[in-house]
């Protein structure tokens, strides 16, 4: 398994972890931004992170037969983990602001499902996926991600298996530290279009 230092080095080398002044999808401001799409666009580096995360998942979970990921961020991560762990992998997509299964994907009654994301911050996407699992009378076995930056504030009550846990501070726009207020903010991310 990769160490935290080795994992952070890969994230920084691939620009998956960058510094500046960012407005997150929550509206909060942050001095760092995590964009795992940058990591996943470099397969030779991403595979190292995914293999390490797969080992952690194997050590902690054994009884699951399906991986469910939210589109877009979790699709490639879920696929890579499914390939490494030899598990079927599907994804959900937003339809009128709500996650749904499409493309003839299905979750069968009694399936044991691992929900996989790239980054968990609030846990909103993962929890939306969990509704699909329970609506299909299947079992949520756990949650996994490359980066857990929830700082314990996620609404996910179960343990989150992650390759990296980051404690990145966030601020309201009216309570910015001086050094952050001197940098022009940018609004990255898929929900900020």
* pLDDT band at 73; cut points 50, 70, 90: confident
The pLDDT value given to residue 190:
54
Total number of domains in the chain:
1
Query: Is 192 part of any domain?
Result: no
Q: What is the DSSP letter of 94?
A: E
pTM of the model: 0.86
The pLDDT value given to residue 21:
95
Q: Residue 39 is part of which domain span?
A: 4-181
Query: Is 133 part of any domain?
Result: yes
Three-class SS of residue 129?
A: helix
* pLDDT band at 189; cut points 50, 70, 90: low
- The C-alpha atoms of residue 143 and residue 158 are separated, in whole angstroms, by 8
* Contact assessment for residue 24 and residue 189, using Cβ atoms and an 8 Å cutoff: yes
Backbone φ, ψ for residue 167 (5° rounding): -105, 85
Query: Is 186 part of any domain?
Result: no
Query: Is 140 part of any domain?
Result: yes
Residue pLDDT, tens place only, 90-141: 999 888 888 888 999 999 999 999 999 998 888 888 898 999 999 999 999 9
Query: Is 79 part of any domain?
Result: yes
Query: Is 193 part of any domain?
Result: no
Query: Is 188 part of any domain?
Result: no
Whole-number average pLDDT of the chain: 90
* Contact assessment for residue 53 and residue 117, using Cβ atoms and an 8 Å cutoff: no
- β-bridge partners, 96: none
Query: Is 168 part of any domain?
Result: yes
The pLDDT value given to residue 93:
87
Specify the CATH number for the domain of residue 139. 3.40.50.2020
* pLDDT band at 15; cut points 50, 70, 90: very high
């Amino acid at each position: 398994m990769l160490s935290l230092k080795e994992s952070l080095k890969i994230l920084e080398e691939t620009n998956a972890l960058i510094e500046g002044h960012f407005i997150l999808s929550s509206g909060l401001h942050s001095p760092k931004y995590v964009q795992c799409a940058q990591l996943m666009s470099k397969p030779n580096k991403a595979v190292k992170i995914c293999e390490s995360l797969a080992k952690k998942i194997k050590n902690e979970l054994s009884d699951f037969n399906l991986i469910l990921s939210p589109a877009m961020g979790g699709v490639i991560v879920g696929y890579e983990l499914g390939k490494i762990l030899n598990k079927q992998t599907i994804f959900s997509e937003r339809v009128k602001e709500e996650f749904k299964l499409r493309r003839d994907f299905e979750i069968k009654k009694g399936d044991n499902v691992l929900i996989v994301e790239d980054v968990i911050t609030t846990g909103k996407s993962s929890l939306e996926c969990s509704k699909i699992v329970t609506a299909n009378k299947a079992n949520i076995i756990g949650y996994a991600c490359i980066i857990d930056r929830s700082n314990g504030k996620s609404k996910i009550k179960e343990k989150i298996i992650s390759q990296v846990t980051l404690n990145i501070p966030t601020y309201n726009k009216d309570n910015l530290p001086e050094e952050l207020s001197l940098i022009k903010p940018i609004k990255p991310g898929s929900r900020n279009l």
